[in-house]
Copies of this chain bind each other. A is one copy, B any other.
Amino acid sequence: MGFGRFMTETMRLFDLAGAELDRRFSPYCWRIRLALAHKNLPVETIPWRFTEKEEIAPSGQTLVPVLVDGDQWIADSWTIANYLEDKYPNSPSLFGGPVGRSLSRHYSDIADGLVRAIFPFIVLDVLQHVAEKDRDYFRASREKRANARLETVVSDRDKRLPDFRASLASLRRTLKSQPFLGGDQPLYADYAVFGPFQWARCTSPYVLLEKDDPIRHWRDRLLDCFDGLGRETPAYDA
């Protein structure tokens, strides 16, 4: 160990990976990948599969993202974002202050809602990219959640697409009036809402957003951030 124990260790992030180790597709992990980049905090990502529950057991739960900072294990994306903001106050703020933090909370919940809304469009495509050893787990857990076969879940997606796109009207209107949810520069609110769209892009060729949708242009601006961090994973031009 020597001096090592006194040096700042690089943080580690357990990051969901697909059959290919470099396909990182969790909507929740992407929030934290971008949050860490925003705060200029280096991180070592550890590819993780759904069934590797024991790897993250010290976090006290079974889902990623899990951040390991020294001897601290932190789970849940909103909790991690708050941890980073409090632990590294001299790095660029994710929230823009206490009021911004409170106002950002709802964006996190909006993002969770988007995961639920996008799920019935892409879940069968996600299955194709899940690691072999995760497939049975993924299918069983998602079919239980949906109470239906995954093939059935996605079968009417074309019919549902116009309603889904219409449901994004408020988001679209905001992103027509300003480049990012955080204003001229992105904030955690952006990274949270970006996550579900990045999840879709990394797993499914299905075109959720029309080419000229302001939401798509905003997504692409976020893909350009931090030297194109969001493009460092296999994805579809969808």
Interface of A toward B, CB cutoff 8 Å: 93, 95-107, 109-110, 112-113, 116, 167, 169-171, 173-174, 177-178, 180-184, 187, 189
Contacts and interface: CB of A to CB of B under 8 A. Distances in A.
Contacts of A95: 99
Given A97-B97, A105-B177, A110 B187 contact: no
Contacts of A96: 97-100, 103
Contacts of A184: 102
The complex is assembled from copies of this chain, and their number is 2
A82 to B, nearest CB: 12
A102 B170 contact: no
Contacts of A183: 98-99, 101-103
Contacts of A174: 105-106, 109
Contacts of A98: 96, 183
Contacts of A101: 183
A98 B105 CA distance: 17
B169 A113 contact: yes
B105 A104 contact: no
A159 to B, nearest CB: 16
B102 A181 contact: yes
Given A113-B170, A170-B112, A170-B113, A187 B99 contact: yes
